[in-house]
Amino acid sequence: MNALLYRSLVMLAFLGIAGILVFVIQDSLHAAESPAGRTVFYPEESDRVLANPFMGFAVDAKYDESAQPFRLAHVNLTWRELEPEKGRYAFDAIEEKFNFPLWRQRGVHLIVRVIMDYPRDYAHMDIPDWLYREIGGDGTWYDNEYGKGFSPNYDNSLLIRNHERMISALGRRYNDDPLIAFIQLGSLGHWGEWHTWDKRKATSRFRNGTFPTGTPSTMSGRSRTSIC
């Protein structure tokens, strides 16, 4: 065996041993970094589109017709459909309408928003009839360039008290439910977006005390709760 071949074989053997040692050391380090009772996964690099959880494109939870991957779905529910009778909540009907079982099965998480005023192309109310009667019709019927509907007076004390009770019930139902990604504050203004057609500057006491501090954790301001 000539000297050149010998040196080449020695170098290959050295590199092989070094590679094995690096693999063993990395494996040991990964094991040491893994908390007890947990599995640590190191994904491979990929050029594919990733459907990241809790971010990105979100669909309307009522429909299953998206042409692209998603991990979030919007549940924009009106107070009218949530509590058609005072103190009686239509949770089963809501969960059927917004496909809760389907999204739970697929690992899709939900963004929930309560809405009191959603402009449409016809006259309607998004608060329950019983609440409209209870507040004495306090609010404004509107018909403008982007829709029709009823905008309640958000400073009405009866509306505020009933809203607090309704939000507490919503919290008890979905407290720590892993299906729920975020609870948006919503409620106030057109589409629950905290504005109305009235261009005058104004303040409202609706936001002060309207979202109860004693509401279960998912609903009361943890990291999973978002402000729209």
Residue-range domain boundaries for the chain: 1-42, 58-219
Distance between CA atoms of residues 178 and 181, nearest Å:
7
pLDDT value at residue 1:
54
The per-residue pLDDT for 55 is: 82
Which pLDDT value is given to residue 219?
A: 43
Would you state the pLDDT for residue 228?
36
CB distance 194 to 227 below 8 Å: no
HSE of 94, CA atoms in CB hemisphere, 13 A: 22
Beta bridge partners of residue 138, listed in sequence order = none
User: Which pair of structure tokens corresponds to residue 145?
Assistant: 């360039």
Determine the longest span between alpha carbons in the chain, in angstroms. 104
Sheet holding 58-60, edge to edge: 58-60, 72-78, 109-115, 180-187
Q: For residue 223, give the amino acid letter.
A: S
Measured in residues, the chain has a length of 228
pLDDT at 7: 64
- Using CA atoms, how far apart are residues 146 and 199, in angstroms rounded to an integer? 15
| CA 110 from centroid of its chain's CA atoms | 5
Over the chain (228 residues), the average pLDDT of each successive run of 10 is 61 65 58 66 81 82 88 95 97 97 95 95 97 96 92 94 94 91 88 79 58 47 38
pTM of the full predicted structure?
A: 0.70
pLDDT of residue 44: 84
